[in-house]
Amino acid sequence: MILLGKQLKIVLVGDARVGKSSWLSQQLEGFYEPEYTPTNGYNSERLDCLTNIGLAQTMIWDISGSNSTAQDRAKWMEDCDAAIIMVDLADRASIENTVSWYKEIISSQKQTLLPVVICSYKAYEKSDKRAIDPAEISWSDELGNTPFFYNISRDINVKPNRMLFNKDIMKPIGWILEQLTGETDVDANFGYVPSRDASPPRPVWPDGISPELAEAASRTLEDDDEENL
Ligand SMILES: Nc1nc2c(ncn2[C@@H]2O[C@H](COP(=O)(O)OP(=O)(O)OP(=O)(O)O)[C@@H](O)[C@H]2O)c(=O)[nH]1
Ligand SMILES: [Mg+2]
């Protein structure tokens, strides 16, 4: 079953260099590049994932955080289904700027009821003086009940180009799907469906899922698809 019967547009915003493209690349390629290459304008990528309640088809719009794109961003953000604001715990300004990102997202929409989630992707040890302790951040009231998921990569001991599959990396997407579907406990981490491969997409199963379970889940998907024909 395709969740909500459509492809969801999710915009990914936040200050330059906070790790937006790295997060996306981590999921599409299994690693991120150690060199910083600013996104030029925006880059949209299909990111499909198997959840415990069905297949989520999403298009992630990874939007450059550079000030030079400010004029065009409202156009890129419009008609989205949800938004992720990314921050870097070692970059205080990126946390302070969440309010202006939030306002920018909301003002670019026709509807104001939009799931928005804040997350930090780069992980820091608790003892690392560069990073702000997430518990000490006082978020502005203007952000309402926007949740914050931090250290979603937990990559402290992982080299940039090493394969990584972390349970938390899809938490923001899981939360967004809960808001959009009204379901609780959505686990968006059952596996990714690579979209860059031209051949029919096949789920990639994370470690820890037995071949039997993976096969059973695939069968369920196919059965659901047939039912929906
Ligand atoms: N320490 C650490 N560095 C990271 C991690 N993820 C990404 N980086 C580095 O941080 C930088 C982030 O770059 P991007 O992901 O391109 O940043 P961005 O938010 O897309 O920036 P713009 O496209 O300019 O808006 C790169 O140099 C990455 O190598 C991480 O988990 N830990
Ligand atoms: Mg980028």
pLDDT for 125 equals: 78
Strands of 8-13's sheet, edge to edge? 148-149, 116-120, 82-87, 8-13, 54-63, 42-51, 191-193
Among 32, 42, 97, the mutation site with the greatest number of ligand 1 atoms within 8 A of its Cβ is 32
Would you say residue 95 lies in a domain? yes
Please state the pTM of the whole predicted model: 0.84
At 157-216, the pLDDT tens digits run: 555 554 555 668 888 999 999 999 999 999 887 666 555 543 444 455 555 555 555 555
Residue 228 lies in a domain: no
Closest CA to 206 of 173, 150, 168: 168
Which of the two residues, 30 and 79, has the higher pLDDT score?
79
DSSP letters for 82-127 = EEEEEE-TT-HHHHHTHHHHHHHHHHT-S-S---EEEEE-S---TT
Residue 213's pLDDT is 55
Cβ of 191 below 6 Å from ligand 1: no
Of 49, 63, 52, the C-alpha closest to 204 is 49
Within a domain: 38: yes
Position 84 scores a pLDDT of: 97
Q: Is there a domain that residue 133 lies in?
A: yes
What pLDDT does residue 28 have? 82
Domains of the chain: total: 1
The answer to the question of residue 93 being in a domain is yes
| CATH number, domain containing residue 25 | 3.40.50.300
pLDDT band at 17 (very low <50, low <70, confident <90, very high): very high
